[in-house]
């Protein structure tokens, strides 16, 4: 049977209806000039920084105190609410529409949460403290049962479970054939919520910050958000100000941050004509995700290893050039958080277009969650549109917004790496020298990111 099927596939007459629209206009844009401008901006930032006095370079990360915090201890209440909302979504995922663009669960998980709320966490501030679905239920459970954690979280595990779980999440996102299937997603989300709660019951809240990948991700992104706490105050500052103020990152967390960027970068590369060409696939006739599961897994692993190696080499070269006696691990951990703004910039750039479309579906689903014909939000006859992909003006605006996110991420990363180097080395010249290779890496990465945006994609 299988061979007959393969044979049929081989002799199949084709129907190639690959869509011309948005990417067609992108290919007509002067993206080479835009890329050059973007890369030049980042390179100029590097050159200017070498001339800026150390005090000024550090000063830009000084936050502005906004107001005194009047912290209402409601985060357990909001977390319990989040858990209830998640529960309801999982229920709808199991019982509601089978269509991933109608059922609210996949739209919430992949569009509202993964694209929107993660971007918000990195751009604005730490909402995860309020919106995570575990801390509240865990507190209630602990209060009701008067139970303390059964075990101490094993120190030797470090961020290992968190990295492993994030990698599994990335596999679901990138390699799984049907990550948006409502029923499957409901089982994944429900199972994961439950397993994590069990982890907290067994190992205490430490489970969340060492092993729960989504919390590690959210806390990492919160560290580059603009808003934050400083003493008793709410403060705002240039993304990265909180990293400048915090103690050294552990090796496990540093690796996690790099994997965040490596995964984000691969989730873009894997759609390009270039990658499909490497796999020997016709980009106009992509055979579907189930045909590329293994190459995707291998590619994801290779991309992450490559990034860690290149990043580590840049750090090592910096130490050599600056004649520093700082250990490589120490320096690796010192500079790793500086790539977070890049990862966030990629996140925004990569998902902007799908957010613009699927966000409309999410709105529609919120108005009619059980597909009963309800119109809770009063949307009326609401047709999802992708018209903004059809005119050169809007496509250019979208592309430049994406490119802006990538370039801004890199500029902030350069400033942050420089600030961290100044803090570590004290001496302005040594700081500049130590991060010169890293800066070169970031300039090249800007090129890579913009090239990804400009490349024709096959899926």
Partner 1 sequence: MTNATTRRGALKTLGLGAAAASLPLWARYTNAQTSEPVKIGFQVHRTGIGAAYGRWYDRTTQAAVKLINDGGGINGRMIEIMAEDDGTDPKRGAEVVEKFANQHGCDVGFGTLFSHVVIGSSPRAGELKLPYFVVSEGHHVASGMLNRYTLQPGITDVKSQVQAMAPYVADNLGKKVTMIFPDFAFGHDHRDYFSAAIEAQGGEVLEKIAIPPSETSFTKYFPKIPRDTEVLYHVMVGPAVLTFVKELGEFFGPSRPEMFGFIDSLEAVDIASPGLEYLEGTYFWEGNPRNAQPDQSEHDKFYRAAVGVDDNGASVSDPTDVSTYAHMFGCWETLHVIKAGMEAAGYQGPGDRATLIEAVEAMTDMPHSQAHPQGAKIFNGKTHQVFGHQYISRVEAGRLVKVHTTSIEDTLYPDEVDYTTQAF
Nearer Cβ to partner 1 (25/266): 25
Least separation, in Å, of the C-beta of 161 and partner 1?
A: 19
Nearer Cβ to partner 1 (148/323): 148
Least separation, in Å, of the C-beta of 242 and partner 1?
A: 35
Nearer Cβ to partner 1 (281/336): 281
Least separation, in Å, of the C-beta of 22 and partner 1?
A: 8
Least separation, in Å, of the C-beta of 343 and partner 1?
A: 24
Nearer Cβ to partner 1 (90/438): 90
Nearer Cβ to partner 1 (16/155): 16
Nearer Cβ to partner 1 (109/217): 109
Least separation, in Å, of the C-beta of 230 and partner 1?
A: 37
Nearer Cβ to partner 1 (286/316): 286
Least separation, in Å, of the C-beta of 393 and partner 1?
A: 9
3-state secondary structure the chain: CHHHHHHHHHHCCCCCCCCCHHHHHHHHCCHHHHHHHHHHHHHHHHHHHHHCCHHHHHHCCCCEEEEECCCCCCHHHHHHHHHHHHHHHHHHHHHCCCCCCCCHHHHHHHHHHHHHHHHHHHHCCCCHHHHCCCHHHHHHHHHHHCCCCCCCCCHHHCCHHHHHHHHHHHHHHHCCCCCCCHHHHHHHHHHHHHHHHHHHHHHCCHHHHHCCHHHHHHHHHHCCCCEEEECCEEEECCCCHHHHHCCCCCHHHHHHHHHHHHHHHHHHHCCEHHHHHHCCCCHHHCCCHHHHHHHHHHHHHHHHHHHHHHHHHHHHHHHHHCCCCCCHHHHHHHHHHHHHHHHHHHHHHHHHHHHHHHHHHHHHHHHCCCCCCCCCCCCCCCCCCCHHHCCHHHHHHHHHHHHHHHHHHHHHHHHHHHHHHHHHHCCHHHHHHHCHHHHHHHHHHHHHHHHHHHCCECC
Least separation, in Å, of the C-beta of 382 and partner 1?
A: 8
């Amino acid at each position: 049977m299988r061979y007959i099927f393969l044979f049929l596939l081989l002799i199949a007459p084709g129907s190639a209806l690959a869509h011309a629209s948005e990417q067609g206009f992108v290919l007509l844009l002067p993206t080479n000039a835009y890329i050059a401008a973007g890369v030049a901006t980042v390179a100029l930032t590097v050159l200017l920084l070498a001339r800026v006095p150390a005090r000024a370079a550090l000063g830009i990360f000084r936050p502005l105190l906004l107001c005194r915090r009047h912290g209402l201890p409601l985060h357990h209440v909001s977390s319990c609410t989040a858990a209830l909302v998640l529960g309801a979504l999982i229920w709808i995922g199991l019982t509601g529409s089978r269509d991933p663009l109608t059922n609210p669960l996949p739209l919430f998980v992949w569009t509202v949460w993964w694209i929107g709320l993660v971007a918000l966490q990195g751009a604005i501030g730490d909402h995860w403290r309020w919106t995570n679905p575990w801390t509240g239920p865990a507190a209630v459970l602990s209060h009701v049962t008067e139970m303390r954690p059964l075990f101490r979280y094993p120190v030797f595990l470090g961020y290992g479970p968190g990295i492993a779980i994030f990698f599994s999440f990335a596999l679901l996102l990138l390699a799984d054939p049907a990550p948006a299937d409502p029923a499957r997603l409901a089982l994944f989300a429900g199972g994961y919520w439950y397993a994590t709660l069990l982890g907290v019951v067994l190992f205490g809240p430490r489970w969340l910050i060492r092993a729960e990948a989504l919390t590690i991700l959210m806390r990492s992104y919160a560290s580059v958000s603009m808003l934050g706490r400083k003493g008793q105050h709410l403060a705002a500052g240039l993304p990265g100000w909180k990293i400048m103020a915090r103690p050294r990152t552990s090796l496990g967390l540093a690796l996690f941050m790099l994997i965040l960027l490596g995964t984000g970068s691969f989730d873009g590369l894997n759609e390009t004509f270039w990658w499909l060409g490497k796999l020997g696939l016709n980009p106009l006739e992509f055979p579907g995700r189930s045909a590329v599961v293994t190459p995707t897994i291998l590619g994801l692993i290779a991309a992450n290893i490559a990034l860690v190696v290149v990043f580590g080499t840049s750090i090592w070269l910096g130490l050599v050039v600056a004649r520093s006696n700082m250990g490589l691990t120490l320096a690796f951990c010192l500079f790793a958080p500086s790539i977070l703004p890049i990862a966030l910039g990629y996140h925004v750039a990569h998902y902007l277009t799908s957010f613009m479309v699927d966000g409309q579906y999410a709105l529609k689903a919120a108005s009619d969650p059980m597909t009963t014909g309800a119109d809770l939000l009063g949307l009326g006859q609401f047709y999802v549109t992708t018209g903004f992909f059809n005119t050169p003006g809007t496509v250019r605006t979208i592309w430049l917004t994406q490119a802006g996110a990538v370039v801004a991420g890199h500029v902030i990363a350069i400033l942050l790496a420089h600030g961290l180097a100044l803090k570590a080395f004290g001496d302005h010249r040594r700081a500049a020298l130590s991060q010169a290779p890293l800066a070169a890496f970031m300039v090249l990465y800007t090129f890579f990111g913009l090239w990804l945006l400009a490349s024709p994609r096959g899926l």
